[in-house]
Chain A
Amino acid sequence: METWEVFRRHGHREPFEHCGTVTASDHEMALLTAKECFLRRREGEHLWVVRRSDIHSFQDESLLEIAADKSYRFNSGYRDVVEKRERAKARAKELASS
């Protein structure tokens, strides 16, 4: 018996989302039981099962941490751009009229 991760989709335009696990001997049995465990009350319209051992991740989770300032990767890092542009416009106007 293996552990199978179960993913469920609410509508055909929605992404599959993880909803739980089942223990089963193979993918057919996993689908069979996942349907009744996770789709019994119309919680979605489609299911995937994936063998847990087929899912790969980093051994060292600290690799995923962001250590230094990466504010340029976020919208919030550019909050003062509008202000700077307004100031530049005003300056340009000032120069034009002088």
Chain B
Amino acid sequence: MTDPLVSMLLALADDELVLGHRHSEWTGFAPHIEEDVAFSSIAQDEIGHAAAYYSLVAKITGDDPDRLALGREKHEYRNAILCERANGDWGYTLARHWLYDHADALRLEALESSAHEELGPLVTKIRREERYHLLHADTWLKRVSQGPVEGRKRLADSIGIAFEESLGLFEPFEGEQDALSAGWIPVSSSELRQRFVRQVAEKLDALGLPTHMTSHAEEGAEFVASSSGDLIASDNGERSAPSADDGFGGRRGRRTPDFDALWEDMTSMYRTSPGARW
């Protein structure tokens, strides 16, 4: 079994790497030049955070950070499925960016008091940049939600879709119970998920955006890890979220066709000449 600390760090790193890669696909295509620079910079930040987590894993396991990032097979990645989804339009990109960065902020807040002596200080540094990401996402959401009808509708629709899948960020990672006992992370995924749903509902409400899917999620099934490592819903075995089957399983290495294209692109250079240095 994978070391629970490694498993936790890989989930974090893979989320950041894969979403950072998606964000970077906007470079040259963002709605205007200033935003192009800002969003590309956020993409670089996320990939930088991933690099820091991979380096920590590499230190623990004696692996190579580049190999961890770019030299693994598709099923070895542990990112939430939300992160690998194709960008779609700017509305979906914003919705996902906003949901992801709120989820990430809660997770990092908890990780800052990790019992791991290097992780806490690293997270403190990462949180400084994440504050900007959150401000960026909140500012955009406020503008679009108060803007013309079409933009607002696209954003609301996208939040509806991305929200269901954002709950996949809180799927327990492999060995989470052990990681909790060891204090690597002091708060469980299910507790973080509850905080997330509450916070998102409050913020959407304040913006006058629909919140029905959040109340749905709060009433919904509590996900628990079964002995096989599969996730099951505690209420009669059925998930309440409409697209849940698509959005979950990322932490167990389930990948969607969206990931195939991303992986081909992201790892092509590394596969062409493994171990190459800039």
Which A residues lie at the B interface, using CB under 8 A? 1, 22-26, 28-29, 32-37, 40
Contact = CB atoms under 8 A, between A and B. Distances in A.
A20 to B, nearest CB: 10
A6 B243 CA distance: 45
Closest 10 CB pairs of A and B: A33-B34, A36-B38, A36-B41, A22-B34, A33-B38, A36-B37, A37-B37, A28-B139, A32-B139, A32-B136
A35 B41 CA distance: 10
Contacts of A26: 143
Given A29-B139, A29-B143, A40-B41, A35 B132 contact: yes
B41 A23 contact: no
B32 interface: yes
A32 B32 contact: no
A41 B250 CA distance: 35
19 contacts: A22-B34, A23-B33, A23-B34, A25-B143, A29-B139, A29-B140, A29-B143, A32-B135, A32-B136, A32-B139, A33-B37, A33-B38, A35-B132, A36-B34, A36-B38, A36-B41, A37-B34, A40-B37, A40-B41
Contacts of A35: 38, 132
Contacts of A24: 34
A36 B132 CA distance: 10
Nearest to B147: A25
Contacts of B143: 25-26, 29
Interface in B125-161: 132, 135-136, 139-140, 143
A5 to B, nearest CB: 13
A32 to B, nearest CB: 5
B35 A33 contact: yes
Nearest to A38: B37
A37 B32 CA distance: 12
B151 to A, nearest CB: 12
Nearest to A34: B34
Nearest to B135: A32
A84 B140 CA distance: 69
B38 A37 contact: yes
B240 to A, nearest CB: 36
A6 to B, nearest CB: 10
Given A29-B139, A33-B34, A34-B34, 20 more contacts: A1-B32, A22-B34, A23-B32, A23-B34, A24-B34, A25-B143, A26-B143, A28-B139, A29-B140, A29-B143, A32-B38, A32-B135, A33-B37, A33-B38, A35-B38, A36-B34, A36-B37, A36-B41, A40-B37, A40-B41
A32 B135 CA distance: 8
Interface string B158-188: 0000000000000000000000000000000
A46 to B, nearest CB: 15
Contacts of A29: 139-140, 143
A22 B35 CA distance: 10
Q: Give the one of A34, A35, A36 with max B CB within 10 A.
A: A36
A28 B143 CA distance: 10
